[in-house]
Structure 1
Amino acid sequence: MINPTPDTLELGAVYKPDWDERLIRVIAFDNNVVMYDVWWPGVEGWGLGKLTGKVAYYRISTQLLLARASYVRTDEYSELEFKTNRPDLPFSFSQSTALNWYDQVPENIERLAHIFEVCGEGAGAACAPCLGTAQVYVSPFGPKGSSKPAILIKADDGNAFTVAELLWNAWQLQLPNLRETRLTDGVGLYRLGLQKQIPSYYIWGAKSRLEEASSNAT
């Protein structure tokens, strides 16, 4: 069987990687990143089978998965899995190279909204109008780069977050954790996993941690 292409990736697809004896299963994906679950032989089940508690998805670049894993089968991706994992949500959100957490604190949410309305001038490519979930956990980073406990944020309209709204809330969480040493360039939020069956994101720069690691490796 030939290796799949990005066009044939699908939710629930199971692959055999060349770096591990365990099978992996696609939880969510886009053109750049695949988030996946791992089969645990000791318990004869997928690690995320119960979808409870705090979950951080395994992730790998789409290109690397397609180069180093072989398609095995597709295990049905249930309606409950879709509702809980929310693979339809963007992996990155509120990205901007025109801002940074350290010395460009916006005066108010209206200023943030203006920056993302112009979508250009260094604002970055992630100019999506909203994040389609009523609540989300957001994890800031500490002074040395470690992840801090995530905090639940609820959308003002009870339905979805605008870019500016989520970024403004993220700023309030991140500010107390900043010190003189700059760990990031730009701003952005990135999909982490689940917490109490609610989507979670982590705060970082204009590039995700995975993107930065990939850049440093080349």
Structure 2
Amino acid sequence: MAMYDAWWPDIEAWGLADLKSLKRKRVNYYVARVSTLLEKARYLRAEPLTEEEVAVHRPDLPFAIARFADVQWPAFEWEDRLEGRHADGGAHPEAGDVGLRTPEVYLYPFGPDGGEKAGSRIQADNGTFFTLEEIIRKAGAVQASFVRDKSPVQGMGIYRAGLQRLVPAYYLWGHNSKLHT
């Protein structure tokens, strides 16, 4: 996957260029498969992110974490299945893997028909980062009130959505992202 910005002719600017205006907004990132970009995009120029843009958009954060085909939301019974797993769902030798290196995030749960619900702002217990276990536990609590007998998704996953009030935002979904379903 790749994230990109777009030129908005009506405002004669890049969509995410005005960082000050993002403080009051929710920003959804455009996401596309790399193969789609290679096939359809045309190279114009390269403009590295400024230090301020890097600090706001946090390209160091993963697109996807906690992807598990064999765990369903609200994920309260996941602990025995996570032992020795990495944040991306693969095998990893260390326990307590760092899930997200940020002190806070917005999480957007989905409803029984798959529609997105209002986001919840959550804080890391240690004030610095979320362990994999912590982000799953807190995401499960956010998702729990929307889970019904039949889920619109298989498995679980947490995916980068963008920003809300300059805080990284993620949406909750199934093992495959919305881009891939």
TM-score (norm 2): 0.88
Unaligned runs of 5+ in 1: 1-32, 213-218
Aligned to 1:116: 82
Maintained 8 Å contact 2:109/2:142: yes
Q: Which has the higher strand share?
A: 1
Selected match of 1:83 from 55, 58, 64: 55
Selected match of 1:59 from 23, 26, 31: 31
Counterpart of 2:89 in structure 1: which amino acid?
Answer: G
Q: CA deviation at 1:119?
A: 2.4
CA deviations 1:124-171 (Å, max 9, x no partner) are 338653310000000000111111111101000111001110010011
Aligned to 2:10: 42
Maintained 8 Å contact 2:3/2:30: yes
Name which one, 1 or 2, has greater alpha-carbon Rg.
1
2:114 is equivalent to residue 145 of structure 1: yes
Maintained 8 Å contact 1:98/1:186: yes
The structure with higher relative contact order (CA 8 Å, sep 6+) is 2
2:170 is equivalent to residue 194 of structure 1: no
RMSD of aligned residue pairs (Cα, Å): 1.9
Segments of 4+ moved more than 4 angstroms: none
Q: SS of the counterpart of 2:121?
A: strand
Maintained 8 Å contact 2:103/2:130: yes
TM-score (norm 1): 0.74
Alignment of structure 1 residues 1-218 onto 2, 5 Å: 33-51=1-19, 52=22, 53-101=25-73, 105-106=76-77, 112=79, 114-119=80-85, 124-125=89-90, 129-212=98-181
Count of aligned pairs between the two proteins = 172
Counterpart of 1:149 in structure 2: which amino acid?
Answer: A
CA distance in 1, matches of 2:56, 2:152: 32
CA distance in 1, matches of 2:81, 2:14: 42
Unaligned runs of 5+ in 2: none
Q: CA deviation at 1:96?
A: 1.1
Decide whether aligned partners of structure 1 residues 187 and 179 sit closer, same or farther in structure 2, where only a CA change above 3 A counts.
Answer: same
Identity of aligned residues (%): 38
